[in-house]
Amino acid sequence: MDKSSFWLTDREYKVMSVLWDNNRDLTINEISDISGDPKLTIACIAQVIPRLLKKNLVHIEKFIPVNTKYARTFLADISRQDYLESELSRLTQKTDAASLLSALVHVSSPKKNDELMQELEIFMQEYKRNRKG
């Protein structure tokens, strides 16, 4: 599957978030423990991982001994930034950037909007500087 044209379910995103936040290979048990989400049980993650493998978003890094058996560890094959860019690209194919920003402002709090505006100003200054140079 082309990594530029995928989407994640809520559970897939939660599993990927744990992998992204820890930046190391993890077993299914570790993902469940670290997530802190009671809905991300070992059984749930065991159903999600094959879908992420099929989408080529994670891979089996290694097998490690656990008690008398072996467990697989998993590592993300796409960064959070690449995922977010893919999602934005998918959305901008449906609408324009101004509509996206407008929707973002309408669903956010005034404090979040102020933070967003500050970040956008910094981004625009850096963009202009890099474009000239």
Q: Burial of 22 by CB count in 10 Å (0-12 exposed, 13-18 middle, 19+ buried)?
A: middle
| Separation between Cα atoms, residue 15 and residue 71, nearest integer Å | 17
The candidate with the shortest Cα–Cα distance to 43, out of 73, 7, 15, is 15
Report pLDDT for 5. 57
Q: Which helix (H) or strand (E) holds 66?
A: strand 58-66
Question: What is the rounded average pLDDT of the residues 113-124?
Answer: 92
> What would the mean pLDDT of 2-31 be, rounded to a whole number?
89
DSSP-assigned letter for residue 94: T
Task: Identify the pLDDT of residue 104.
Answer: 84
- Residue reference for tokens 């072996």: 70
- Which range in 3-17, 71-85, 99-113 is most confidently predicted, on average pLDDT? 71-85
Looking at residue 1, its pLDDT comes to: 43
Q: What's the mean pLDDT when you consider all of the chain? A: 91
